[in-house]
Chain A
Amino acid sequence: MDIQFTEEQELLRSSVQRLLRNQYDFDARRKIVASEDGLSRKQWGAFAEFGLLAAPFSEDVGGLGGGPLSTMIIMQEFGRHLVVEPFMETVVLAGGLIAQAGSDAQKRGFIPDIIAGTKIWALAWAEKGSRFDLAAVTTTARRDGGDYVLSGEKAAVIAAPWADYLIVSARISSSRDDRGGVSLFVVDRRAANLHLQSFKTIDGRRAAEVSLNNARGQLLGREGEGVAALEACRDRAIGALCAEAVGAIGELNSATLDYSKTRKQFGTTIGSFQVLQHRMVDMFIAHQEALSLMQHLNLSISAGEAGVSRLASGAKSKIGYAGKFVADQAVQLHGGMGMTDELNIGHYFKRISSINIQFGDPAYHLLRYARLDTAA
């Protein structure tokens, strides 16, 4: 099931690698995370210039037509470098939703600015108590002239403090949990009656609690189709997050292997201890399996295969547990150094912890994988 990458795809990978190697080493990242804004607009501009923000979009909206496989390539490299800029939120989540559900006018209006790197987006789907249920929405939307006005609270919206626009899920009718009552809306982040309370995330990003009190927004897609759109969006997001996780896992493994060959205790390198050798073999196997499953998932997403949503949940679970195992062991094998803020190991650990929360933890997706089988 190994992917034969096209020349274009190989070119994309090597250009992302070159860009990040030159401009996004661990020290550069540390400075970005510690800065007032918490992201680098300059880097974001460079991503646009290199065509990364255009890569997955189809040509008819100004993209390069690379689809989910180009997202996969980019995200895997971003995972290796712990990139904090909101490619996932802007391009994969919002860009994907606009391309999938937006009107022609919305596509023409919004996507070019995403591609040019001039507008950043965030997706506000979660609420207090919703956990990972996309349909558990209590925020309301009411039609008012050609627009809608939204009221409610959205929780833990990653990248919201950086964003120019938010996509917000809200309920037009009926009760909480009713799938058919939810729609998506585009809201200007600087709109009146929209308020943000920002906070830092464990992996060095910025997020916010968003409260809307009759804030104006425009409908994205059709009324009542919000949950279905979000579900397809989540599948793509999982494909991207799994690629990012695999990138991080690979880096953790090679750093741990290098360390075990140089760190000496009891007169020899710790890599000569059999118990640690077996541990690292298991880490290697976890990486190989995660890589294969991640590629399989993204190929299926790319081909639009039926049953991809179940596969996405399966991959999110399996790769989530693999990432957790590798991250735990990488910290353990680095000893005290693995606990420090100074070394990159702990930062990979935190990014993997965060990936394992975004759009549902491994236990949630294990169950979803099982249940979708019963339903079939």
Chain B
Amino acid sequence: MELALSPEDAAFRDEVRAFIAGNYPAEMRVPNPETDLSKEQMLLWHRILHKKGWIAPLWPKEYGGPGWSITRRFIFEQETTRAGTLPPLAFSVTMVGPVIYTFGNEAQKKKFLPRILSGEDWWCQGYSEPGSGSDLATVRTKAVRDGDHYIVNGHKTWTTLAQHADWIFCLVRTDPTAKPQSGISFVLIDMKSPGVTVRPIITIDGSHEVNDVFLENVRVPVENLIGEENKGWTYAKFLLGNERTSMAGIGRSTRYIERLKKIVKAEIPEDDPAHLEFVRDIARVELDVLALEATELRVVAQMARGIDPGPAASLFKIRGTEIFQNITELTHRATGNYGLAIREHPVSANHFMPGPDYGHTASEKYLNSRKLSIYGGSNEIQRNIIAKAVLGL
């Protein structure tokens, strides 16, 4: 299914497609890019896109964006995900960048935006805390003013790829007496500051993606406060809106379905009754993707005409994550007895992994994708949002 494109947009799509084919680094094509690449390797594609001027589709032209229409932004997203490219770090480009150019002052824009675009700074997100998961407004990390600094104390968790990060954007409580949402500020903290400690959290797939970040008497210059003190909740919500836009994951799901089909073809003979079961299950999930894709295209077309999509992002998040969980589960099931095996992390050629190559990441993907219905606002929270904002309940 495709958007009806003008000749100019169709030419743009072809250009994007050709650019990916000609420039995506071969060494980034590993079994599982999220866990198997070094920081430098992850940044290869980022730097290529930066050189081309395509690193930040969302950003206005004056800050270094390409100045694309909504349609072109969507085309770019579609082509890059269909081709299985590793997206540039969302915490930098999609999350903190827009907060800085929307709410930051001139000095902050000048200091941080170019380094985000070039990939020089790696950002991580200091939102969640042990006591505040889906309920972010209960943030307890404290920032106390001391001259021209804040002294920050607290414990952030689920911090993705903090082990690589140069900077962390944090929600901190600056007014403990105010109502939960009104006493929060948005500050930028240099990860090299004394008092910042990163501790790995190993997840059930054995990989190290997330971390605890401990902040002990960290001195943060007041100039690193974004916008106004105690107005951080507004900026945080703005950022979460961006976090949830691209969670439909059509390109990724489509690629994984194609792979699933190949695995089923190789593993299960057509006269095995299980074959028919898989054919049905795959068809069902393909229709799920088709319906979600149609919804996405409808929303994009509406947005291009200036219509506010409302909480469509919640719908995309719910269905996109459910679909992908289903696909990874079917893939794991299709690998049969070899679904018992799992790669050891950190990945090394010294570890023996049995069975055909196509099954080697099936277990870890299956396990890892359980997080999708939890993070970024759990799917229960997303349903609450739709119940309230759309259905008026």
Contact = CB atoms under 8 A, between A and B. Distances in A.
Interface of A: 126, 128-132, 155-156, 158, 197-203, 207, 209, 264-266, 273, 275-276, 328, 331-332, 335-336, 338-342, 346-347, 349-350, 353-354, 357-358, 361, 363-364, 367, 371
Across the A-B interface, the 3 shortest Cβ-Cβ residue pairs: A346-B204, A265-B135, A341-B202
A349 B370 contact: yes
A335 B378 contact: yes
A197 B157 CA distance: 38
8 contacts: A132-B337, A199-B354, A200-B344, A209-B352, A209-B354, A335-B134, A349-B204, A353-B339
A328 B370 contact: yes
Given A131-B268, A131-B274, A335-B374, A357 B203 contact: no
Given A336-B158, A336-B371, A363-B274, A201 B355 contact: no
Interface string B68-105: 00000000000000000000000000000000000000
B134 to A, nearest CB: 6
B204 A340 contact: yes
Given A264-B131, A265-B135, A341-B204, A126 B337 contact: yes
Contacts of B339: 202, 353, 357
B204 A339 contact: yes
Contacts, number: 126
Nearest to A126: B337
Interface in B361-393: 363, 366-367, 370-371, 373-375, 378, 380, 383
Nearest to B366: A353
Interface of B: 128, 131-135, 138, 157-158, 201-204, 206, 210, 267-268, 272-274, 277, 332-333, 336-342, 344, 351-355, 363, 366-367, 370-371, 373-375, 378, 380, 383
A139 B344 CA distance: 29
A364 B273 CA distance: 9
Contacts of B367: 202, 346, 349-350, 353
B342 A364 contact: no
A275 B204 contact: no
B370 A331 contact: yes
A241 B204 CA distance: 22
Contacts of A200: 341-342, 344
Nearest to A327: B370
B131 A207 contact: no
- Which label, helix, strand, loop or mixed, suits the secondary structure of the A interface? mixed
B202 A155 contact: no
A354 B374 CA distance: 23
A196 B354 CA distance: 11
A156 B274 contact: no
Contact of B340 (A128, A201, A265): A201
Given A276-B380, A341-B206, A131 B374 contact: no
Contacts of A335: 133-134, 374, 378
Contacts of B378: 332, 335
Contacts of A367: 273-274, 277
B352 A197 contact: yes
A369 to B, nearest CB: 12
B274 A364 contact: yes
A265 B339 CA distance: 36
A33 B41 CA distance: 33
A349 B332 CA distance: 14
B380 A336 contact: no
B340 A354 contact: yes
A201 B338 CA distance: 9
A155 B370 CA distance: 27
A155 B356 CA distance: 12
Given A199-B352, A200-B344, A332-B373, A155 B366 contact: no
Nearest to B371: A339
Contact of A336 (B332, B352, B374): B374
